[in-house]
Amino acid sequence: MTTTQLSAGTGAANRTGLYLAALQLMFTLGWTTYVVYLPRLAAEVGIAPSAVILILMLDQGIFTIADTAMGIAADKLTPHVGRLGLFVGLMAAISCGAFVALPFVAGAGPAAQVWFIALIVIWSITSSALRAPPLTLLGKYRAKPQVPFLAALAMLGYGVAGAVSPYLGVVLREHDARLPFVISSFVLLLTALALSRIESDVAQDTPPPTPAEAAKPLGLVPIAFIVAMVALAFGYQLHFAMNSGPSYLRFAKPDELQWLMPVFWIGFNIAMFPASLVVKHRGGLIVMGAAGLFGAAAIAAAEFAGSLNVLIAAQFLAGAAWGCMLISAVSAALAIGSTGAEGKVTGLVFSALALGTFARMAAVAGGLQKMPEYAPLLHWAPIACWSVAGAGLLVIAAARLQGAAHIKASAGG
């Protein structure tokens, strides 16, 4: 292969990663817009404020199932170039249509309550096509050494959205919902429709998998990996969504949170690219495990911080650890599913993230954070989740390395 061909391949690969980053960014910002306006829209159709958390739990419950289902669908579609882009484009059109309709239907008042809930369900189901399926392009078409870096690019959109979400929430709160819903849906739809072009580009670089290629049943390692991912996701939710704000309020004023909460995501975005280099040479499971243990130590430091500066540093390191975990998780999922189940395993990763969010929302709905007797549990649970999952992943990685070494030794003998 000539230098020109290598350069062209690298450029196409980078374009793929940047495209996936844009898709994740627009999807996550759309979710933020939805969360900001949902209480107001729900009130317009006569839904009590106390029921809003139940709607958000419904969304996450749907994501938990639909993300895996969409990943399985992607596995069946990617052998046929063009079909994945067509499928994602169609789902995106339905999703954006339902999303745009939400504020307009809410304006009809309580008589439109059933339609309002139906639109939310349709939006939740179809928007899952924008999460795992596009990422399967990395596992099915891109060379394995490229995957960690491209996964980091893809997750950059998720991290940037997390960083700007607190500020976005403050800005949007005072505006009418209709224009933000229309704008975010329009941009997201345009981004999703570009997937067909990206799919064609990557297919030109690498021969696609054959339609006869079938996914093998998941073994013990993938199952243990997903269980660990659920624990890591739950730990992240408890630490960032429930504990970080109150931790900052020990040293800062409430109106300063919009500037302090993004510190976690700054660490997230910065750490992913160095982590991708380690994943490339050592594998995703090892990096996930090590990052889990490191992140647990960072959360402990945040809990015991005696000043704002120490807390900021600890939150930065916790965010960096979560970035390492997430980029490693995507890379590991694509590697574990490399027998034709890339979409399925990647979908399970996103399902694990949704399940972690669902569990955190259930804790909030149950008033767990308001019960003094459970306060120590909320503060120590993230540390336990990350440390136990991290240690377990390192054990799995060590066992896999030992097994590979044994096979190599036997073959050499």
Residue corresponding to tokens 């955190």: 360
pLDDT, position 312: 96
pLDDT, position 388: 96
Q: Is the pLDDT of residue 3 over 70?
A: no
Query: What average pLDDT does this structure show over 340-362?
Result: 91
- 15-209 and 216-336+367-413 in the same fold: yes
Tell me how far CA of residue 284 lies from CA of 183, 234, 393, in angstroms: 37, 19, 10
| The CATH number of domain 15-209 is 3.40.190.10 | no
Calculated CA dihedral for residues 349, 350, 352, 355, nearest 10 degrees: 180
Closest CA to 236 of 175, 321, 152: 321
- Residue 109's contacts (CB-CB under 8 Å, 6 or more residues apart) are 44, 45, 46
User: Is residue 266 within 8 Å of residue 206, measured between CB atoms?
Assistant: no
Q: Is the pLDDT of residue 408 over 70?
A: no
Query: What average pLDDT does this structure show over 66-70?
Result: 94
Percentage of the chain modeled with pLDDT above 70: 87
Query: What average pLDDT does this structure show over 72-79?
Result: 84
Domain residue ranges of the chain, discontinuous segments joined by +: 15-209, 216-336+367-413
Residue 384 to residue 71: CA distance in whole angstroms: 30
With bands split at pLDDT 50, 70 and 90, how would you rate the model's confidence at 288?
A: very high
Query: What average pLDDT does this structure show over 395-413?
Result: 68
pLDDT, position 270: 94
Q: Looking at the domain 216-336+367-413, which fold is it?
A: Growth Hormone; Chain: A; (1.20.1250)
Q: Is the pLDDT of residue 94 over 50?
A: yes
Listing DSSP states for 284-327 in one string gives HHHHHHHHHHHHHHHHHHHHT--SHHHHHHHHHHHHHHHHHHHH
pLDDT, position 123: 96
pLDDT, position 197: 75
With bands split at pLDDT 50, 70 and 90, how would you rate the model's confidence at 203?
A: low
Closest CA to 92 of 185, 156, 161: 185
pLDDT, position 209: 53
Indicate the length of the chain as a whole number: 413
Report the phi/psi class of residue 38: left, alpha or beta, with left for phi > 0 and alpha for psi in -120 to 50: alpha
pLDDT, position 381: 94
Q: Tens digits of per-residue pLDDT, 222-242?
A: 889 999 999 999 999 999 999
